[in-house]
Amino acid sequence: MPESYVPKEAIGHGDGGTAALAMGEAESLERAPAAGRPPGGEPTGKPRSLWSDAWHDLRRNPVFVVSALVIVFLVVIAIWPQLIATGNPYRADLAKAQEGAAPGHPFGYDTQGRDVYTRVVYGARASITVGTCATAGAALLGSLLGGLAGFFGGWWDTLLSRLADIFFGIPVLLGGLVFLSVVTSTTVWPVVGFIVLLGWPQIGRIARGSVVTAKQNDYVQAARALGAGNGRMLLRHIAPNAVAPVIVVATIALGTYIALEATLSYLGAGLKPPTVSWGIDISTASTYIRNAPHMLLWPAGALSITVLAFIMLGDAVRDALDPKLR
């Protein structure tokens, strides 16, 4: 870091003990970074982009670091659960059904006598797969359709906005129940497909909004006046501006999609056995909550921590990317 650099978050950022500055004089302090410069000379620090600024903030944000570490850990065990769980998630020992913690079985046994710890570890795979695939799908579809609607406007915009309204009008859980109750596949794909179907309008709206805003920027207007073609405009000038909000919404959405998958599985319409899913296990355990709460608490805890990690990550990224909050 060049010495002269004074981080922007010094100015009225929410979370570090610096509250708002006096309104009238806030602008004067925003000039603070200028001080270290030689008088009349050029700034010694390199100009920083939104992204490098954000990255600089994020690395110092403990919320970001912790949630990112949790997510990396989850992804690793989703791919290689054997790393930390040597058992077999399907191995049932009915004699030990609903028993509590025992040596080698720290989370106890479920109602069929399967090891809860192993099932919790293996359950990460379904949640992470559904979460990432659904988010990727919804983000791609949403930013494509939303971006096009925002860029071209006109009837294309009207049509897509109404289409998005239609999907917004359907209560998510009900739609999921109806749509998925007729599906017999035991893979994760119907669930992913459904979430993409109902999830894209949310991201689409964000993408549309930021494209419309970016389109009105003076430099974009200037590029158009200079004869830049549509493709070049979209790729070089508009997309980079629309990407940040989409990433933020998508990260938070990833968390909520994982929760949605679990809820659908809980209602019997999401994933189906033999897939190991926290939602299914919680649903099964809920009947026995009075006698063996551990069967519910462990998968529920794992689920909540996973969702929390993604939502916190999204929150931290938003704080870093949204200069208005500084």
Q: Is 14 in the site for another protein (CB under 8 A)?
A: yes
Tokens of residue 151, six digits: 């860029």
Comparing CB distances to another protein, the nearer of 65 and 178 is: 178
Smallest distance from another protein to CB 114, Å: 20
Contact pick of 296, 317, 320, 321 for another protein (by CB under 8 A): 296
Comparing CB distances to another protein, the nearer of 90 and 167 is: 167
Contact pick of 315, 317, 318, 320 for another protein (by CB under 8 A): 315
First-last CA distance in the chain = 20
Q: Is 100 in the site for another protein (CB under 8 A)?
A: no
Contact pick of 1, 2, 3, 23 for another protein (by CB under 8 A): 23
Q: Is 134 in the site for another protein (CB under 8 A)?
A: no
**Rounded Cα–Cα distance for residues 74 and 122 (Å):** 10
Smallest distance from another protein to CB 274, Å: 22
SS3 for 293? coil
Contact pick of 76, 170, 228, 243 for another protein (by CB under 8 A): 170
Comparing CB distances to another protein, the nearer of 73 and 80 is: 73
Q: Write the single-letter amino acid at 73.
A: F
Q: Which of 303, 232, 234, 291 is nearest to 265 (CA)?
A: 303
H helix intervals, 153-215: 154-169, 172-181, 189-215
116, 108 in Cβ contact below 8 A? yes
Comparing CB distances to another protein, the nearer of 147 and 255 is: 255
What binding mask, one character per residue, do residues 229-248 give for another protein by CB under 8 A, x or -? --------------------
Q: Is-cis flag, bond preceding 106, omega within 30? A: no
Smallest distance from another protein to CB 41, Å: 9
Q: Is 9 in the site for another protein (CB under 8 A)?
A: yes
H helix intervals, the chain: 26-30, 50-59, 62-79, 116-152, 154-169, 172-181, 189-215, 218-225, 230-232, 239-266, 278-286, 294-321
207, 175 in Cβ contact below 8 A? no
Smallest distance from another protein to CB 100, Å: 16
Comparing CB distances to another protein, the nearer of 44 and 217 is: 44
Comparing CB distances to another protein, the nearer of 32 and 94 is: 32
Q: Is 255 in the site for another protein (CB under 8 A)?
A: yes
**Rounded Cα–Cα distance for residues 317 and 314 (Å):** 5
Count the residues of the shown chain that bind another protein, applying the rule CB under 8 A.
72
Q: Is 303 in the site for another protein (CB under 8 A)?
A: yes
Q: Is 300 in the site for another protein (CB under 8 A)?
A: yes
Q: Which stretch binds another protein (CB under 8 A): 138-146, 217-225, 243-251, 297-305?
A: 297-305
Q: Is 65 in the site for another protein (CB under 8 A)?
A: no
Q: Which stretch binds another protein (CB under 8 A): 106-114, 208-216, 241-249, 310-318?
A: 310-318
C-beta contacts of 12-19 below 8 A and 24+ residues apart: 12/326, 13/325, 13/326, 14/319, 14/325, 15/319
Contact pick of 138, 262, 292, 295 for another protein (by CB under 8 A): 262
Comparing CB distances to another protein, the nearer of 93 and 165 is: 165
Q: Which of 56, 38, 37, 36 is nearest to 48 (CA)?
A: 56
CA–chain centroid gap for 229, Å, is 33
